[in-house]
Amino acid sequence: AQKITQTQPGMFVQEKEAVTLDCTYDTSDPSYGLFWYKQPSSGEMIFLIYQGSYDQQNATEGRYSLNFQKARKSANLVISASQLGDSAMYFCAMREGHNQFYFGTGTSLTVIP
C-alpha cells in the first residue's frame, strides 16, 4: 500500500483564488509528521509547512495552511490568494517512526493570470 497518496497529478487555479491540494497517508505509527514541499521548475525542494500527529490545531504558515483530518488520514494543503509564483510541483511527505520518510508522487499546480 502507498504510504502517501496524491490523487491530483495536475491542478489549475486562477490567480488570487484559493486552491486545495489533496494528500492522504497510511501509517499505524501513532507518532508521525506530515510535510509539504514545493518544487519550482528550477528543481530545488522548498519546505512549506509541517503538521505533527499530536498537534491539536491545523498548521498555518502565511498563505499556506494544512487541513489535518486525522481520522480520515488526510493532510490537504490549502494555498490562499494564489500567485503566479505558486506554479510548481507540490509534494506531500510523511516521517514515520525513526526518521524514515515517504513522499507522494506530487501535484503540478499552474496558476492562471
- Beta strands at 64-69 and 74-79: parallel, antiparallel or unpaired: antiparallel
- Interface with another protein: number of residues (CB under 8 A): 25
Element (H or E) spanning 28, and its range?
none
Using CB under 8 A, pick the residue from 50, 67, 73, 74 that binds another protein.
50
Shortest Cβ distance from residue 4 to another protein (Å)? 8
78 to 97: interface string for another protein, x by CB under 8 A: -------------x-x-x-x
Applying CB under 8 A, the span of 13-21, 35-43, 67-75, 78-86 interacting with another protein comes to 35-43
CA-to-CA separations, 16 to 12, 53, 79, 82, in angstroms, rounded: 12, 31, 10, 5
Residues 106, 21: Cα–Cα separation, whole Å: 10
Residue with cell 504510504: 3
What is the binding site for another protein (CB under 8 A)? Answer: 4, 6, 31, 33, 35, 37, 43-45, 47, 50, 52, 91, 93, 95, 97-106
